[in-house]
Amino acid sequence: MKRAVFLDRDGVINRTIVRDGKPYPPRNLDELEIFPSIAENLERLHSAGFLVIVVTNQPDVARGTQNRETVESINTAIKSQLSIDEFLVCYHDNADHCFCRKPQPGSLLQSAEKYGLSLKDCFMVGDRWSDIEAGKSAGCKTILIDYQYSEIKNVKPDYNVDNFCQAVETILKVER
């Protein structure tokens, strides 16, 4: 069985815009800022035999405050700079009750079927409780990059870290 590291996009790969303690995605390519050392750390994951799959909620499309083309252009820009195997995007809002929208595990389960993944050997890395809940629901190990956002944390991650580099160190240490 194959292994993967599932990554949330905003807050893990790129910087979020934080207003009143809540994170928001970049509104356009000009606001996109990929964190330093992401490329090298993704290569370390690939070298260790992991697929890297981005699983991101982009509800602003359903809310009408963002368009799908802008989200896709941001994803394309990220993919052109980083070694990512696949982007899975949920454009729905909570009211849509979509199974692919985190905290639901639908996107992770879909990837497991597509790639023949052993989810117990996979990791979900995110910066919000919904990422952690999706990973736990799918049976993955979970890592929270904890930015101390002003939101209720409904679930406890397996590991807490300060940044993506520490997340990768944790993954590689656990997998030894």
Catalytic residue IDs: 8, 10
> How does DSSP classify residue 35?
P
User: Could you tell me the sign of the dihedral formed by the alpha carbons of 53, 168, 101, 78, in that order?
Assistant: negative
User: Could you tell me the sign of the dihedral formed by the alpha carbons of 69, 71, 77, 83, in that order?
Assistant: negative
Around Cβ 142, how many Cβ atoms within 10 Å? 23
CB contact at 8 A, 100 and 90: yes
Alpha helix ranges (H) inside 26-163: 38-47, 60-63, 68-81, 106-115, 129-138
Q: Are strands 22-24 and 50-57 parallel, antiparallel or unpaired?
A: unpaired
d(CA 46, CA 9): 17
d(CA 164, CA 168): 6
